A and B are shown apart, each in its own frame.
Chain A
């Protein structure tokens, strides 16, 4: 019996590197999205304290979507608010939502909240800047060199 085909170690290293860059980009996107969401909710509901999210079961995967905005006294200010673009206020999976929001177990399932009064993170930087900040020094230098070569700068 022959050995199974496998990618070379060098190629596996390249793939691992690309995967880590993708992860850094996903983290930057989550941070940028939460900051954008926080700004959008505060703009429309200045008295808002908490945004509440619930799991929406879809096929083939479930999503986590904004369902309520609560005020400082805990009362619901907006229930299932109209969303201009549902994707903006939706996280793709439990894992993604868990990374971006606070998860709690409630009767009958799970819920996620976003504390709108918590000190904001990432608001001082654009998403691309956050991506660059998430890269190591060597990765940044290598990406800069590749972009300079491609763009002719």
Chain B
């Protein structure tokens, strides 16, 4: 007799999937907060800045998207851009970059992105608002029910 493949029960599989989508919502919130924070920091540091350009940085093990330069209205690089050096101006990977920046040049191997520093939602949202907005309706309901239960206990 053939032993069936090991598998999670349906409730367990649903639970893991829900946690995965909530985790994704938190990641999206993290990237959205990061982009808004970058925009604010660049605008504050370079008042004449109009665009910020990003490129992919690849190592043997991983890759990420990093700030390359900042340009003014004429398209000139304002000056050699130096960031704080601890990854504050990096995004996790090109998929996240595609969701939040404008991909404007390069091929799939060496893509480049632009962030318009002068426009966009500059409202500083709380991390909780960001997560609430990134959740699906079903996940939001489940999370709400758990939170209600916690406060009712």
**Interface majority SS (helix, strand, loop, mixed), chain B:** helix
**Is B132 a contact of A147 with CB atoms below 8 Å?**
yes
Q: Is residue A46 contacting chain B, with contact meaning CB distance below 8 A?
A: no
Count of chain B residues with a beta carbon within 8 Å of a chain A beta carbon: 64
CB under 8 Å from chain B, chain A span 1-46: 2, 4-8, 10-12, 14-15, 17-19, 21-22, 25-26, 28-29, 32-33, 35-37, 39-41, 43-44
The reply to whether B127 and A29 contact each other, CB–CB distance below 8 Å, is no
Contact B41 A146 (CB under 8 A): no
Closest partner residue, chain B, to A20 (CB atom)? B127
B15 at the interface (CB under 8 A from A): yes
Residues of A close to B61: CB separation below 8 A: 60-61
Bound-state Cα–Cα, A28 to B149, Å: 17
Decide if B108 is an interface residue (CB 8 Å cutoff): no
Contact B30 A147 (CB under 8 A): no
Contact A40 B7 (CB under 8 A): yes
Contact of A83 with B5 at beta-carbon distance under 8 Å, contacts A14-B33, A39-B12 already known? yes
Q: Are A60 and B62 in contact (CB under 8 A)?
A: yes
Closest 8 CB pairs of A and B: A84-B7, A11-B37, A36-B12, A146-B128, A82-B5, A146-B132, A6-B84, A150-B132
Dominant SS among interface residues on chain A: helix
Compute how far the CA of A37 lies from the CA of B8 in the bound complex, rounded to whole angstroms. 7
Q: Give A residues with C-beta under 8 Å from B.
A: 2, 4-8, 10-12, 14-15, 17-19, 21-22, 25-26, 28-29, 32-33, 35-37, 39-41, 43-44, 60-61, 66, 78, 81-85, 88-89, 126-129, 131-133, 139-151, 153
- How distant is the Cα of A44 from the Cα of B40 in the complex, in angstroms? 55
Asked whether B140 is an interface residue with its Cβ less than 8 Å from the other chain, the reply is yes
The verdict on B105 contacting chain A, using a C-beta distance below 8 Å, is: no
Inter-chain CA distance A18–B40, complex, in Å, is: 18
Residue B4, interface by CB 8 Å: yes
Partner of B147, one of A29, A127, A140, A150: A140
